[in-house]
Structure 1
Amino acid sequence: MKHPDISQETHVLGDATVQTVVRAEQCDALAARHIAHVAVVDAAAPYTVVRTNLSGAFMQVCLSGEGQTLLDGRWYTHKPGSVSFAPAHVLHAFHCVPGKRWRLAWVRFRPDSVRSVDGALAPTMSPFDGQVLEHAILGLHGEMLGAADPGTCVVWVDVIERYVARLLEPLQREPRLVPVWNAVKADLARDWTLADLASLANTSEEHLRRLCQKSLGRSPGRQLATLRIAHAAHLLATSDDKIEAIARSVGYVNPFAFSNTFKRLTGFRPSDYRMRHL
């Protein structure tokens, strides 16, 4: 399957795509929850979005049809009953499959949202039924077209936020994983081994692998690399620190290994990524 060029910012709707969007600039209730905008989209090729500077986290649910979503440096087939989550400061892209329509709902968080805080969550693709979320977004949009009663808008946004929390918060609630990744995020420069991580979880290395795969959709090693690169991307976008110093601060002594891993997960070399955020 041919995927779009991910080296440049792209936003192509196409004549056959219909978007229903409510933005924080229009809705005080969204702004109060630090949500930039919500949308329901009925899309068809050539619908394509590439974000090389994702300033706020992004949650997207497939309602029907099929599309392609880039997360963690990999393209996933995004089918009904699944949701993707992309944290801030990562390369993010999605597009329609020619000949197939794709209906989706999304919530885009502002940079000041707790969902967008560096290290809050890693990229993920998880099972999720988004029908109620879709109805809540359409309900809010309908209210905004009419009287736009502030109290009613708050109710719709509260439903949206509750469904967001239902998806995102359990990813942080597996009790054996919480101390593991909290410790890692507090000391990314440490030379973490699988045995170290399993000890923090008070479980065997093999069981830790199973827990991570079930809760996060990736191995412990992949999760460690994801957290390191996510923090490095944040530093590249928000600080003037030298690339070598950033690499060491997230656990990479070898700058070539850091650069290769960074490109694999983000699509860019660290120097190119920084240039895009100047």
Structure 2
Amino acid sequence: MEKPDLLTETHIFGDDTHVVTVRAEHCEALAARHIAHVAVIDAAAPYTIVRTHLSGAFLQVCLGGEGQTLLDGSWRSHTAGVASFAPAHVLHAFHCLPGQRWQLCWVRFMPSSPRSLAGAMAPGFTGFDGRPLERAVLGLSAEMQDGADPGTCAIWVDIIERYVSRMVDPWQREPRLNGMWSAVLADIGHSWSLEELARLANISPEHLRRLCWKNFGRSPGKQLTTMRIAQAAHQLATTPKKIEAIARDVGYVNPFTFSNTFKRLTGFRPSEYRSKPRP
């Protein structure tokens, strides 16, 4: 199947795709948690989503079948038991494969959510059983159709948030990484070496590598790069600052290296990314 056009904001559902959605405008408990909407979907081609400017962070879990998701600069097969997390202001796309159904559950956060803040989390995939999250979303949906008791809705949303935390807060389970990456975010433009990062975490460089691969599925250097580009994308989308200044802010002395890295991870040159209209 031909890949979607990544230069155009696209939302194609098709007649054979079925969605159960609960939105914040109808559910005060979601709004209180800064969650824009939650959904369970059973999709089939031509189901295609392209978000050229993701305004809020997005968690999506595959429950069954197979589709393809573009994240962190590359397309990947997205199968059952795998979750993807896209921070705000990144290029994000996914689509069904011909002849295959694809079952998904997702949580879309508002721009005001702490999970949508620049650098809150880098994009990534991880193993995650989405079935409990699916049941919580369906439970909330059923309650919304059956009188929408505020207390019961709040309980369902609390359960949703707890399951989300298990996936998108991996470094919260490892205090040494939490403190280290917090320090990095506070000075993202510094030329961090592996040895400096390891000293911040009070562990050996090799142990840091192992922890990063375990928690993020990438090396410390790649994690730092994705965090820098996420911060740069946030500045491009929300400030008039010059591109060269943004590059320096996030640790790139050479603007060409910054542009090439940004293109590799987002699909756009920085100038293209900034010039695209927001949906």
**Which category describes the TM-score, using the shorter chain as reference length?**
over 0.9
Question: How many residues matched?
Answer: 278
Partner of residue 124, structure 1:
124
Q: Is 1:178 matched up with 2:178?
A: yes
Partner of residue 47, structure 2:
47
State how 1:140-219 maps to structure 2 within 5 Å.
Answer: 140-219=140-219
- Could you list the runs of 5+ residues in structure 2 that have no partner in the other structure? none
Asked if 1 retains the 8 angstrom alpha-carbon contact of 2:209 and 2:219, the reply is: yes
Shift of 1:277: 4.8
1:276 alignment partner AA: K
Partner of residue 83, structure 2:
83
Using the alignment, how far apart are the partners of 2:205 and 2:11 within structure 1?
A: 43
Asked if 1 retains the 8 angstrom alpha-carbon contact of 2:44 and 2:99, the reply is: yes
Using the alignment, how far apart are the partners of 2:2 and 2:221 within structure 1?
A: 29
Partner of residue 63, structure 1:
63
Using the alignment, how far apart are the partners of 1:74 and 1:210 within structure 2?
A: 23
Asked if 2 retains the 8 angstrom alpha-carbon contact of 1:237 and 1:277, the reply is: no
Partner of residue 276, structure 1:
276
Using the alignment, how far apart are the partners of 1:275 and 1:173 within structure 2?
A: 38
Using the alignment, how far apart are the partners of 1:202 and 1:152 within structure 2?
A: 44
Shift of 1:182: 1.5
2:61 alignment partner AA: V
What TM-score comes out, normalization by structure 2 length? Answer: 0.96
**CA-based RMSD:** 1.3
**Structure 1 residues 151-192: Cα deviation after superposition (integer angstroms, max 9, x where no partner):** 221121111111112222233331222232122111121111
Shift of 1:114: 1.1
Partner of residue 233, structure 1:
233
Shift of 1:104: 0.5
Asked if 2 retains the 8 angstrom alpha-carbon contact of 1:177 and 1:201, the reply is: yes
Using the alignment, how far apart are the partners of 2:118 and 2:228 within structure 1?
A: 11
Describe the SS at the equivalent of 2:180: helix
Using the alignment, how far apart are the partners of 1:31 and 1:197 within structure 2?
A: 37
Using the alignment, how far apart are the partners of 2:48 and 2:277 within structure 1?
A: 21
Q: Is 1:223 matched up with 2:233?
A: no
Shift of 1:226: 0.6
**Structure 1 residues 92-120: Cα deviation after superposition (integer angstroms, max 9, x where no partner):** 11111111100000000001111111111
Using the alignment, how far apart are the partners of 1:258 and 1:202 within structure 2?
A: 30
Describe the SS at the equivalent of 2:21: strand
Q: Which runs of structure 1 show a deviation greater than 6 angstroms over 4 or more consecutive aligned residues?
A: none
1:263 alignment partner AA: K
Partner of residue 17, structure 1:
17
Q: Is 1:5 matched up with 2:15?
A: no
2:101 alignment partner AA: R
Shift of 1:81: 1.0
Asked if 1 retains the 8 angstrom alpha-carbon contact of 2:52 and 2:92, the reply is: yes
- Greater shift in the superposed pair: 38-47 or 3-12: 3-12
1:45 alignment partner AA: A
- Could you list the runs of 5+ residues in structure 1 that have no partner in the other structure? none
Partner of residue 26, structure 2:
26
What TM-score comes out, normalization by structure 1 length? Answer: 0.96
Asked if 2 retains the 8 angstrom alpha-carbon contact of 1:12 and 1:48, the reply is: yes
